[in-house]
Structure 1
Amino acid sequence: MSVLSPFVYWAQNEDSLFIKVDLKDVQDPKINIERKRLHFLCKGVGAQGLQDYEFQLNFHCDVQENGNNFVKLSDYKIDLTLRKAEKGWWPRLTSQPQKPAWLKVDFDKWQSEDDVIEEDVGDIRDDYPNLYEKLMKEEYGYRKEDFKKVYLTLYNLFMYVGFMYITSVLCIRYAREGTDFFPTVYESVGHVMKYLQVKN
């Protein structure tokens, strides 16, 4: 039977690596952190259900082996914070250029560093915009747009078109009928106004 590997997400700053193991209800984790290698073994609930999961990462550069590394277990994930032996940005996590299929870049960690223990981490998008865009392109094949920005743009466009429709109908009716159409204003555009207010 082949060994099952969980989804593993990673991010970095200048002096640390952040690794998230996507497993729930982890039982008896065995985590071995060496200078050039991380070995992980446990029973937990992952993509294949409740199974034994295992993986090994051979690092691109060295990490510290002493007590400067942190492991945080929760009901739905395991977070590891590993200190780099020497400060600097790694071009990739593993020693091999080809990354395993289960290893992903953790873009959420780069957007919000709230979970990092005792760290004051900057936003990589501001400090290294080219590196961030390159990693996004490698991971997704395109630059992922911020969901909130896309949503707000489409929402505002929809509202603009709706209110332009209402204004146009009112102006045209007023030009044709004058003040005689005032009693029927709500009948002509009321349904559109209600719909736009529900969207608000």
Structure 2
Amino acid sequence: MPEFTLHDETSAPEASRPHLASAKQRMGFITTLNAVMAESPELLAGYNALADLFGKSSLPARAKHVVWVTASVQNGCEYCVAAHSTLALKSGLDDAAVTALRESKPLNDDKLDAARRFTASMVTGLGWVPDEEVEEFLAAGYTKRNVLDVVLGLGMKTLSNYTNHIVHTPLDPAWQQQEWRRSSRPQPARASLCGHRQDT
């Protein structure tokens, strides 16, 4: 297996160093994800830019965590599920909700569950979501702008999930209490209210 360097501010390419510094300021430490991304200054810059933009997007804060965890579960990203489970709990999302997200199960909160279902359908459908599922998301109280916010969040997670798959990024100590292992087969995205089942 090819080994990728875990860079810090001294070993990273010069162009990556400001992005590592800003990521450290945002997170409090240089994550191993940012450390491996630093090999490509452009990837690190792109990921940090998308993270910043998604954080500023109009999607409600708790729904952002739903997008992050759901996308990472659907993509089978062990690193990101652990990281975003930790961050979701710190944000105030309760244990039951985070556990449900990690297990691809419905949430007790109808609006948040609409975000979970829509995100899962986006990932498993490669962006091809039936119109009725978009309407369900809107009917739950989200806006058309929120629909596109989810696309932004998925762009962010695609960069991190795919990087972790290739690099086998070691888990930071900060995320280890929420360690997660993907199943041998991805979970179905949802059972649609329209009566059809959409599998991965």
TM-score by length of 2: 0.24
User: Per residue, is there more strand in 1 or in 2?
Assistant: 1
User: Per residue, is there more helix in 1 or in 2?
Assistant: 2
Greater relative contact order (Cα < 8 A, sep 6+): 2
Larger radius of gyration: 1
TM-score by length of 1: 0.24
